[in-house]
Amino acid sequence: MRKKARVIAFYLPQYHPTENNNIWWGKGFTEWTNVGKAKPLYKGHYQPKVPADLGYYDLRLPEIRYEQTKLARKAGIDGFCYYHYWFGNGRMELERPFQEVLNLNEPQFPFCLCWANESWHCKFWNMDGTFSSKLLVEQKYDDEEGHKKHFYHLLSAFKDERYIKVNGKPLFYIYQPLAFSDISRFISLWNDLAVKNGLAGFHFVGQTPFVEKIDEIIQLGFDAVNVIKLFEFKTKIGALERLFLLLRRKMFSRPLVVKYSNAMKFFIGPEAQKENVYPTIIPNWDHTPRSGKGGCVLDNSTPILFQKQASEAFEMIKDKTEENKIVFLKSWNEWGEGNYMEPDLKYGHGFIDALSEIIYQE
Distance CA 87, CA 167 (A): 29
Q: What radius of gyration, in Å, describes the C-alpha atoms of the chain?
A: 20
For the cut 60, the answer to whether the pLDDT of residue 242 exceeds it is: no
Residues 186-201, mean pLDDT to the nearest whole number: 98
Nearest CA among 331, 329, 348, 349 for reference residue 340: 331
DSSP string, 126-194: -TTS-EEEEEEE------HHHHHHHHHHHHHHHTSTTB-EETTEEEEEES-GGG-TTHHHHHHHHHHHH
**256/127 Cα distance (integer angstroms):** 9
pLDDT of residue 104: 98
Please give the helix or strand (H or E) that residue 205 lies within, else none. Answer: strand 203-208
Range 210-232 average pLDDT = 96
Residue 235: what pLDDT?
67
Average pLDDT across the chain, whole number: 93
Task: Encode pLDDT of 251-307 as tens digits.
Answer: 556 888 999 999 999 999 999 999 999 999 999 999 999 999 888 999 999 999 999
The Cα 119–Cα 285 span in angstroms is 22
pTM of the model: 0.95
For 311, phi then psi, to 5°, come to -60, -40
Secondary structure class of 84 (helix, strand, coil):
strand
CB contact at 8 A, 167 and 126 = no
Which pLDDT score is estimated for 129?
Answer: 53
Q: Report DSSP state, residue 107.
A: S
Euclidean distance between CA atoms 310 and 128, whole angstroms = 32
Do 9 and 80 touch, CB atoms closer than 8 A? Answer: yes
CA distance readout (Å), 107 to 63, 66, 67, 104, 165: 9, 5, 9, 8, 18
* pLDDT for 132 beyond 70: no
7 vs 310: CA distance, rounded Å: 10
* Best CATH choice for the domain 6-356 from the list 2.60.40.2240, 3.20.20.370, 3.20.20.80, 3.40.50.2300: 3.20.20.80
**165 beta partners:** 170
Q: For the chain, how far is it from start to end, CA to CA, in angstroms?
A: 9
Q: Which of 176, 139, 136, 121 is nearest to 291 (CA)?
A: 121
H/E stretch holding 298 reads strand 296-299
In this structure, are residues 131 and 124 in contact, taking their beta carbons and an 8 Å threshold?
Answer: yes
Least confident range of 6-15, 176-185, 233-242, 303-312: 233-242
Q: Where are the alpha helices (DSSP H) in the chain?
A: 19-25, 31-37, 62-75, 96-104, 144-158, 183-196, 214-219, 233-236, 239-251, 260-263, 288-291, 303-316, 350-356
Sign of CA dihedral 286, 180, 266, 170: negative
The tens digit of pLDDT for each residue in 17-69 reads 999 999 999 999 999 999 999 999 999 999 999 999 999 999 999 999 999 99
